[in-house]
Amino acid sequence: MNLYAERTANIRRTWALVLGFLVVVIAIGYAVSWYYGNPFILFVAVIIALATNFYAYWASDKLVLSLNHARPATREEFFDFYTVTENLAITAGLPKPKLYVIDDPAPNAFATGRDEKHAVVCATTGLLAMMTRPELEGVIGHELSHIKNRDMLLMTIAVVLAGFVAIIANIFLRISFWGGGRRDSNGNAVLMIVAVVGIVLAPLAAKLIELAVSRRREYLADASGVLLTRYPEGLASALQKIGGYTAPMQSANLATAHLFIGDPFGAKSGGSSGWIERMFSTHPPIQERIQALLGK
């Protein structure tokens, strides 16, 4: 499958996954409402799920920028940032996104927003100071590819829904400590166990799906970004610098970690990671991304 066919399939998977998350949320609401014999709980779960999705769609950029303490970037202060983004946006056939910066020495960047017309590209001051122009072009090409591939909406909604599932599970478990729920022996005991196990494991499953989607889309954005710049060595060199910086960002948080081009908690030293660490990592290994870019 070529890159353009993968991009089309990527968009279909986006909506399929969003619908899948909604089904999971409704299923959890049904399980909790059945357990407590209160259908109103299901109604509330559906309303909250729809409301959080609506909020995520319309305010995702503001939420993410606020969490990371970003500020608008002016053309006078960050001329290369502006001109590189303008040029690559024209090449990609995209409106120029709004530009923001985070005052942080760690090199990193991300894109957010609900669609191409309401997109934001944000970079740290550390990245803008550290990168050569070809490296900066590689990073911006990567972020514009996230916009072009419509990754931003899915990533934000995945965060909101995964968080919502975790909250529902937490509320359920806290209430369970105080008793309540169906406890008769007419076949309901097995269903009750299934419901409890499903609710407990749902946040973990939601998080694993979120991380897997994030890692897959990083590879696709790397490849798409290189198509814009026609210079894979630029992005590869930029990733090398990002991966070589081990200190975490000052505003790093788990809620938005998967949005960044590199791990905001700092690169892991000491060789390759184990499979458990890979499973819960928000990003594929930097060296594997570089090898994919350079064909090694």
Beta-carbon-side half-sphere exposure of residue 7 (alpha carbons within 13 Å): 15
Concatenated DSSP letters of 119-180: EEEEEEHHHHHH--HHHHHHHHHHHHHHHHTTHHHHHHHHHHHHHHHHHHHHHHHHHHHT--
CB 80 within 8 A of CB 128: yes
Residue 218 has pLDDT above 60, yes or no: yes
| pLDDT greater at residue 272 or residue 229 | 229
Catalytic residue among 137, 143, 210, 218: 143
CA dihedral of residues 38, 42, 45, 47 (deg, nearest 10): -120
The predicted structure's pLDDT at residue 34 = 75
Q: Where are the domains of the chain?
A: 66-150+214-294
pLDDT mean over 103-119: 92
The predicted structure's pLDDT at residue 196 = 62
Question: Please, what is the Cα angle at 5 between 3 and 11, to 5 degrees?
Answer: 100
How does the average pLDDT of the chain come out, rounded? 79
Question: Please, what is the Cα angle at 230 between 13 and 143, to 5 degrees?
Answer: 45
Residue 122 has pLDDT above 60, yes or no: yes
Q: Mind listing the pLDDT tens digit for each residue in 66-96?
A: 989 999 999 999 999 999 999 999 999 999 9
> Of the ranges 103-107, 153-157, 174-178, 213-217, which is most confident?
103-107
Is 277 annotated in the active site? no
pLDDT mean over 204-223: 72
3-class DSSP state of 260 = strand
E strands along 21-153, which residues? 71-72, 98-102, 109-113, 119-124
Residue 278 has pLDDT above 70, yes or no: no
The predicted structure's pLDDT at residue 243 = 93
E strands along 13-138, which residues? 71-72, 98-102, 109-113, 119-124
CB 34 within 8 A of CB 180: no
With a CB cutoff of 8 Å and minimum separation 6, the contacts of 197 are: none
Distance (Å, whole) CA 151 – CA 161? 16
DSSP 26: H
CB 65 within 8 A of CB 112: yes
Superfamily of domain 66-150+214-294: Metalloproteases ("zincins"), catalytic domain (3.30.2010.10)
3-class DSSP state of 254 = coil
CB 51 within 8 A of CB 107: no
Residue 119 has pLDDT above 80, yes or no: yes
| pLDDT greater at residue 183 or residue 253 | 253
Q: CA of 29: how far to CAs of 24, 42, 53, 244, 293, in Å?
A: 9, 5, 16, 44, 44
**How many C-beta atoms surround the C-beta of residue 230 within 10 A?**
10
Confidence tier at 149 by pLDDT (50, 70, 90): confident
Rounded to two decimals, what is the model's pTM?
A: 0.78
Residue 293 has pLDDT above 90, yes or no: yes
